[in-house]
Amino acid sequence: MTATPETIAVDDPLPGVRRVTLNRPQARNAQNLRMTYELNEAFDRAVADPSVRVVVLAAAGPHFCAGHDLRERLEGAARPPSVGTWSGFGEPGAHGRYAHEQEVYLQMTRRWRNLAKPTIAQVHGQCIAGGLMLAWACDLIVASDDAQFRDPVVAMGVLGVEWFAHPWELGPRKAKELLFTADAWSADEAHRLGMVNRVVPRAELEAQVLQIAASIAAKPPFAVKLAKEAVNRAVDRMGQADSIDSAFGLHHVCHAHNQLLFGLPVDPSGLPAAVRRE
């Protein structure tokens, strides 16, 4: 990766706080390959830096994230060295796509969820599909009052995003509603369901997030680390990890179905108009 990232910005707004900012506002911060690997490198550096106690994930422009960049042609994209155990990204058929999504979507999100330092997602505007994966990988989510959350991928012929945490984040019936209808949900609704920790006015979002980050950074770091580990282990023992892996396989059944019928893994026309890039 380059020393100066192209798709993110990194700064330290307070002692002990590392902020990583999605910085493709012209693409509504849609995640291409470069952004995914630059995010991963930034998170790894934050974990390795002893001066960093909390990591904030923010975004430039009017939206947090429009999801994965479905218009990127993977066969022509420059792929950084793998950070996981998968290979065969260029193989034909289901092999290549399964390998790609294992590394770039499923395993990357799992790595970020398990970072050894607390993370806070600072969400404003639209948070769509793959944007939910970024937010859900964080320990806390603080949203502005104009934030909206949506997973429209059932309308695109896929059962949900690759990090299928919907029943855990929303409960089973509300998860089905979000997926079946593809409706946008407000920050207040997300807060009511327990997916979002706090909702604040847009003008106060950055200040509120930094205030929370400073409070966490003042705590004994090993105790915070083990508290995070304890909660994550509890959720895993309740079956989250196995459920996400199981849903990932079903997700690829949808990909194979779409490929056979339409020649496409997904149809980008299913993206909401608010974040669609013509």
The pLDDT of residue 88 is 79
| Per-residue pLDDT tens digits for 98-155 | 898 999 999 999 999 999 999 999 999 999 999 999 999 999 999 999 999 999 999 8
Q: In what order do the strands lie in the sheet with 8-14?
A: 8-14, 17-22, 54-59, 119-123, 140-144, 198-200
User: Is residue 278 one of the residues assigned to a domain?
Assistant: no
User: Is residue 275 one of the residues assigned to a domain?
Assistant: no
Averaged pLDDT, 21-50: 96
**Greatest CA separation found in the chain?**
55
- Considering the chain, what is the average pLDDT of its residues? 91
Averaged pLDDT, 152-164: 91
User: Is residue 3 one of the residues assigned to a domain?
Assistant: no
* Domain enclosing residue 137, as ranges: 8-270
Q: Which residues pair with 141 in a beta bridge?
A: 121
DSSP 144-160: ETT-EEE--GGGGTSSS
User: Is residue 277 one of the residues assigned to a domain?
Assistant: no
User: Is residue 276 one of the residues assigned to a domain?
Assistant: no
Burial 27-53 (b: 16+ CB within 10 A, else e): bbbbbbbbbbbbbbbbbeebeeeeebb
The pLDDT of residue 268 is 57
The pLDDT of residue 211 is 98
* Residue 271, pLDDT above cutoff 80: no
Answer positive or negative: Cα dihedral of 44, 225, 221, 170: positive
* Residue 86, pLDDT above cutoff 50: yes
Amino acid, single-letter form, for residue 172: P
CA within 13 Å, CB half, 244:
25
The pLDDT of residue 202 is 98
* Residue 225, pLDDT above cutoff 90: yes
Q: How confident is the model at residue 3 (pLDDT cuts 50, 70, 90)?
A: low
Domain count, the chain: 1
CATH number of the CATH domain containing 265: 3.90.226.10
Averaged pLDDT, 27-56: 96
Alpha-carbon distance values, 195 to 25, 47, 139, 149, 168 (Å): 25, 25, 11, 10, 9
| Per-residue pLDDT tens digits for 204-221 | 999 999 999 999 999 999
User: Is residue 199 one of the residues assigned to a domain?
Assistant: yes
Q: How confident is the model at residue 91 (pLDDT cuts 50, 70, 90)?
A: confident
The pLDDT of residue 269 is 56
* Residue 275, pLDDT above cutoff 60: no
CB 144 within 8 A of CB 201: yes
3-state secondary structure of 123: strand
User: Is residue 138 one of the residues assigned to a domain?
Assistant: yes
Between 95 and 233, the more confident residue is: 233
Across 23-78, the runs of DSSP E, i.e. the strands, are: 54-59
CB 186 within 8 A of CB 23: no
Distance CA 240, CA 91 (A): 30
The pLDDT of residue 89 is 81
The pLDDT of residue 274 is 46
* Residue 277, pLDDT above cutoff 50: no
User: Is residue 1 one of the residues assigned to a domain?
Assistant: no
